Amino acid sequence: MTIPATTIDGLLNRRVTLEQPAKGYRVAIDTVLLAASVPARAGEFILDIGCGVGGASLCVACRVPGLNGLGIDIQAGLVTLFRRNIAANKFATGFEAQEADITQSRPSGLFDHVLMNPPFHEEARHDVSPDPVKQTANSQMATDLGLWIIAGMAALKKGGTLSLIHRSSRLEEILEHLRKDFGAAEILPLLPRRGEGPKRLIIRAQKGGVFAPRPCLPLVLHKEEGGYTEAADAILRECQPLVFQSP
């Protein structure tokens, strides 16, 4: 795959340097919020499934010094950019990137944490982007979400966590996929503004145990007058973890 024209951007108030395609799929706040949900500690090993250019992995690594990680993506050009980004961010020396189809490979249970931002759209239900990178990043066959979760489960150690971000309309489907192999499952809605319904949610589930989904207080992203809320700003700019708090 030929790497298209790129831009150099910053995440977490420019603590993270990120080279990414100038057009098509680009890292958004979903990536940073997902990274903030991973309860990693120094010395642990994380797996980023569908890593793209590495935005989520790099945000976790920036927050947790001494972390090790592997990013896997099916798109060779994005993996190449992730490797460049590892080199550009000196705190990420414990990370690697590989080209692989996670729905075909099954990493054995070596990882403390898995994170993923699965494709949001089923191909038959939306207009597919003409950009091939964005098309692959955003589209999926109907069964792929389950395959991603199965792969994440297989990669985890017992007691390890799976963090994913997805559309709120897919919640019941996601919970059904988690039911067999996961115990505690925290559900955190992301509200565009106070009083609005969630379009996205983050789920963090622990491998093993009796399945027990638990709703958490939502994170409100934007103030009525514009700009991010204080809670969202602490995550997006100040590198703070996402708090899963019971109502």
Residue 246 lies inside a defined structural domain of this protein: no
Residue 131 lies inside a defined structural domain of this protein: yes
Residue 4 lies inside a defined structural domain of this protein: no
Residue 216 lies inside a defined structural domain of this protein: yes
pLDDT value, residue 1: 55
Q: Total domain count for the chain?
A: 1
Instruction: State pTM to two decimals.
Output: 0.90
Residue 186 lies inside a defined structural domain of this protein: yes
Mean pLDDT, the chain, integer: 90
Once rounded to an integer, what is the mean pLDDT over residues 4-33?
95
Residue 128 predicted with pLDDT over 70: no
The CATH number that applies at residue 91 is: 3.40.50.150
| The 3-state secondary structure of the chain, one letter per residue | CCCCCEEEEEECCCCEEEEEECCCCCCCHHHHHHHHCCCCCCCCEEEEECCCCCHHHHHHHHHCCCCEEEEEECCHHHHHHHHHHHHHCHHHCCEEEEECCCCCCCCCCCEEEEEECCCCEEHHHCCCCCCHHHHHHHEECCCHHHHHHHHHHHHEEEEEEEEEEEEHHHHHHHHHHHCCCEEEEEEEEEEEECCCCCCEEEEEEEEEEEEEEEECCCEEEECCCCCECHHHHHHHCCCCCCCCCCC
Residue 5 lies inside a defined structural domain of this protein: no
pLDDT tens per residue across span 141-199 = 445 899 999 999 999 999 999 999 999 999 999 999 999 999 999 999 999 999 999 99
Residue 6 lies inside a defined structural domain of this protein: no
pLDDT value, residue 130: 45
**Domain hosting residue 128, numbered range:** 28-236
Residue 245 lies inside a defined structural domain of this protein: no
